[in-house]
Amino acid sequence: MKGFVYLLEIAIAAILMVVVLSTFFAIRVKQNWETSDLIAAGNNILSYISQNRSFFINILNENLTDVEKVKPPNIDYGLNVKGSPKSNIIVGYNQTEYQSYIEDLLTPVYVNGRWVNFTLEEFNFEEGIPNHLDAVVFVYYTAAEYTKYESKIQDYLNKGGAVVGINTFINDQAFLDIFGLQVVSI
């Protein structure tokens, strides 16, 4: 019995030592952020990005690994780039007969000190429009085709995609709805 009590005392002493030592060596994580602290952290990130042009180009191309390197681990952020195109825009098409025509239209362009290139990728409309496409082009689609695929085009638009239609005038409600057009009598 005396040996059991001795073991019990050792266990209690070990538990107390762990609790006491953990208070001394606890990792302090800042939880109450003042506005000035957040502004300073943001300025540090922006300063780091501005030191190298490739960091900024990566952000425009939705590659945020450089930002992740310098942000404190207990800060979360939201970053949305508006008004600036990616360096490589992926354009989908589903009409092989117009591939060379679309390629001729989408030549590289120099914008704000950098080149913007276009990559064509064919897709099958029956499987839907892939979400990774930045834009899709429809050349001389008929009113029946716009009506047939209207729901798939609208789904793609609702997910943030861009649609370009190259047509002569079509007075079809599906076409007008997709492109937000109205027929106006003069």
| Mean pLDDT for the stretch of residues 161-165 | 89
| Mean pLDDT for all residues in the chain | 80
C-alpha to C-alpha distance for 73 and 162, rounded to whole angstroms = 35
- Look up the pTM and report it: 0.59
Q: CA angle, corner 146, sides to 148 and 116, nearest 5?
A: 125
Domains in the chain, ordered, with CATH? Answer: 2-70 (no CATH), 88-179 (3.40.50)
CA 47 to CA 178: how far, in whole Å?
A: 42
Return the percentage of the chain with pLDDT > 90, whole number. Answer: 17
The residue that leads in pLDDT, 58 or 96, is 96
Question: What is the spatial order of strands in the sheet that 135-139 belongs to?
Answer: 109-111, 114-122, 88-93, 135-139, 162-166
Q: Look up residue 134 and give its two tokens.
A: 């930045």
Q: Is 39 exposed, middle or buried (0-12, 13-18, 19+ CB in 10 A)?
A: exposed
Please state, in angstroms and rounded to a whole number, the distance separating the CA atoms of residues 91 and 104: 13
pLDDT digits 0-9 by tens, 44-69: 877 877 787 777 777 777 777 877 87
Question: 53-60 and 35-50 helices cross at what angle (nearest 10)?
Answer: 110
CB 131 within 8 A of CB 104: no
More confident residue, 165 or 28: 165
DSSP E strands in the chain: the ranges are 88-93, 109-111, 114-122, 135-139, 162-166
- Taking residues 163-175, what's their average pLDDT? 79
* Residue 63 or 135, more confident: 135
Q: Tens of pLDDT along 139-152?
A: 888 888 888 888 89
